[in-house]
Amino acid sequence: MKKSIWMMVSAILLMGVIFAVAVSADETITIMGVWGGNELEAFTKVMETFEAASGIEVEFEGTRDLPTLLTTRLEAGNPPDIVHLTGLGMMEELAREGDLVDLIDVLDMPQFNEDYNAVWKELATYEDGMYGIYISADVKSLVWYNPKAFAAKGYIIPSDWDDMEALMDKMISNGDIPWAIGLESGAASGWPGTDWIEDIMLRTAGPEVYDQWVNHDIPWTDERVKRAFEIFGEIARDSSYVWGGPTAVNASNFGDAVTPLFAEPVQAYMHRQASFITSFIKDNNPDLLAGEDFNFFAFPEIEEEYGTPVLGAADMMGLMTDKPAAKQFMRFLASPGAQSIWVSELGKIGVNKRINPAVYPDELTAKMAEVLKNAEVFRFDGSDSMPKAIGSGAFWTGVVDYVNGQDLDSVLEYIESVADETYTSGAATN
Amino acid sequence: MKLKNQKLWVALFIGPALFFITVFLLYPSVHTMIISFLGKRSETFVGMKNYIYSFTSPTMLTAFRNNLMWLVFFTAGTVGMGLLMAILADKIKYEKLAKTIIFMPMAVSFVGASVVWKFVYTYKPIFTNQIGLLNQVIVLFGGSPKGWLMKGPWMNNFSLIFVGIWIWTGFCMVLLSAAYKGIPRELMEAGRVDGANEWQVFTKIIIPSMKSTIAVVTTTMIINVLKIFDIVYVMTNGNYGTEVIANRMYKEMFQYRNYGRASAIAVILFLLIIPVIVMNIKRMKGEDS
């Protein structure tokens, strides 16, 4: 008798669990992303706002090793509903394999076209579909400096590369070190160096050649690519130009690399990094005031004909399942409401045109948004746009090896060999 | 009737084991081998292409060289140090304490140990505060800090291999110590009475008596080190010429999503380990008879 009661109780419990899972399944969506710390806090606020308005539960799975986890989950037939796409290359790979949902059927497209500059749609387009929504952008072509230290030494912001070279020479003759660079980023080490080279490529070879290079229409051993590496190498491989010399360049974490600018006494004077570095500066030195204690100028032009183009990156979200709740969340992410929370918390730059500029935490961010808006030439981060084996494989490693003292020709030949086989094996689009 | 029953019992005992071996070992192995002959997304047959890549690309050649370095120095280091510790610890009063301390790193995960050692090896330029222990010591004695993990191929690979040795020496020591204690004391005494010095006792009596244990420990370490991944992944991710086979397999599989290549590298790793396993099994069989 007792036994049968227990059996009934457990059967009811089991049914209850199954029922609960079935009911909640539709009302819970999962999002996979790489965010932690400040970024996760900001995204949590975005998710909470959505949860409060819709009653749908949103779960966030954070991992710094997103490609690994995503590959495993896809193979297991259990992808997250929404994924943070870390690069254009990744978006194209997933779209090609049919893992992403075309957002043209999901979003209110007339409204979207009104809210977004055409470039954001183009950047998320693969074949005829649109597979990503940009929720914020980062401007990369920025040189950070310490205005007080500059003023104290009488250093003037350079307007072109000749000025820059004169400035560097002046600093060196004063016994100062011009640059602070850090390439270490755990398993992603090397990417800050690729940004340098991309910025230089845009300025020495122009946007058209830049595109050819990214699409591997010109080889890595091309003179123009070589020159970009050399300009970077003259700085990063020379102890008189860069703080701590090449070993420190490779050993310093990208987030800490800016600190020599604010040391007492100042150890280095300039740092080239994207807009997001402000959050690292503020974390490490909470007393510093944006605009007063740290400021930026645009990475100067090198060849007059190509001017000062803007290199950038952006946070992109993709949809992986057909759940109505997930679609609803994507529509929310495209709205100025969601993006205002995200950009105001982080000091990132908004992409939706309806975002009120007043949400930016300080003038500096507003100024960066202005740089992006006024850019005549904008290009997306090149290493993020290449297939992963090149962009976040050989290119990252190659930069690190080059700074470490390896001969440039062999570095470029190595990257070219990887690029060659990646493209000819049908890995990339032709 | 009795025979039939017996067969049933055999099936009952072996069945589940066979089932699990097939599902979790045999099937994945065979599947991996098949995939290794297919392209990036396992859709087209590419023949030996993935294998040709594995044996010709510069990165893979570096990985093979480094795995060989690991194989030689890690195995020699762990087994040699383990043996030394086992014998030395036997001679002191606080043996248990000493052994506990040496064994302790075993309790730390590979990733944890790698993170800790990454701090120890941290490089900061000479005119700033060193946060890395090793470079601080060097600076204290008037030297200049070294980029331990960056300068190859010897210094950085040895810095990594040392972390492995640090973790595994305790394990080797415990097994070897048990074997050492199993040697009859009279045997060694007899040798000494006959006029053998300590070195002769060590080479002529201790080593031969511990031969089978040393072989087992050594082969275990070899299998262990062929698969080395965690330390390299956490500390350098294969940069600066420290790549190893397993890390390359991981990159090809999960970062570049090239299933064919990753599988080919996995098969090669598998083939490299087989002879060691066969050796172990043969030895075990030999002991039985």
**Would the CB atoms of A97 and B237 count as touching at under 8 Å?**
no
Cβ-Cβ contacts under 8 Å, B135 against chain A: none
pLDDT 10s digits, A240-250: 999 999 999 99
Give mean pLDDT, residues B182-199: 89
Buried b (16+ CB within 10 A) or exposed e, B17-51: eeeeeeeeeeeeeeebeebbbbbbeeeeebeebbb
Tell me A282's DSSP state: H
CA–CA dist A12, A17 (Å, integer): 9
Residues of chain A with CATH 3.40.190.10: 26-136+312-377, 141-307+392-426
Query: In this structure, what token pair is assigned to residue A124?
Result: 């998320």
Number of Cβ within a 10 Å radius of residue A128: 7
Asked if A97 has any chain B CB less than 8 Å from its own CB, the reply is yes
Asked if A198 has any chain B CB less than 8 Å from its own CB, the reply is: no
Q: How far apart are CA B176 and CA B85, in angstroms?
A: 9
Size of interface A-B (CB pairs under 8 A): 73
B256–A387 CB contact, under 8 Å? yes
How many helices (H) and strands (E) chain A has is answered by 20, 11
Residue B275 lies in a domain: yes
What is the C-alpha end-to-end distance of chain B, expressed in Å? Answer: 34
pLDDT confidence tier of residue A429, bands split at 50, 70 and 90: very low
Q: Find the domain containing B122 and state its range.
A: 57-288
- Min mean pLDDT across A367-381, B37-51, B254-268 is at A367-381
Give the separation between CA A256 and CA A365, rounded to whole angstroms.
20
- C-alpha to C-alpha distance for A120 and A355, rounded to whole angstroms: 15
The rounded distance, in Å, linking the Cα atoms of B160 and B74 is: 10
Cβ pair A98, A145 in contact under 8 A: no
Residue A68 has its nearest CB partner, among B39, B40, B254, at: B254
Q: Which residue has the tokens 């275990």?
A: B220
Residue A339 token pair: 């993006």
Tell me the whole-structure pTM to 2 decimals: 0.85
**Tens of pLDDT along A308-341?**
999 998 889 999 999 999 999 999 999 999 999 9
B128 contacts in chain A (CB < 8 Å): 244, 267
Angle at B95 (CA atoms; ends B90, B97), nearest 5 degrees:
155
Q: Which residues contact A72 (CB under 8 A, 6 or more apart)?
A: B254
CA separation for the pair A369, A366 (Å, rounded): 5
Whether B50 is in a domain gets the answer: no
Q: Does the distance separating the beta carbons of A417 and B41 come in below 8 Å? A: no
Residue the block writes with tokens 């890690």:
B74
> Domain A26-136+312-377: which CATH class?
alpha beta
Residue A189 forms contact with B (CB below 8 Å): yes
Looking at this predicted complex, what is its ipTM? 0.84
H/E run at residue B220: helix B211-226
Contact, A310 vs A375, CB < 8 A? yes
CATH superfamily of A141-307+392-426: Periplasmic binding protein-like II (3.40.190.10)
Question: How close does chain A come to B260, measured CA to CA in Å?
Answer: 12
- Mean pLDDT for A262-288 is 90
Task: Examine residue B112 and state whether it is found in any structural domain, yes or no.
Answer: yes
Q: How far apart are CA A129 and CA A349, in angstroms?
A: 25
Give tens-digit pLDDT for A160-173: 999 999 999 999 99
Could you tell me the CATH number of the domain that includes residue B152? Answer: 1.10.3720.10
Cβ within 8 Å, pair B256-A400: no
d(CA B165, CA B105): 10
pLDDT single digits (tens) A90-147: 898 899 989 999 999 999 999 999 998 888 898 899 999 999 999 988 899 999 999 9
- Partner-chain contact B123 A393, CB within 8 Å: no
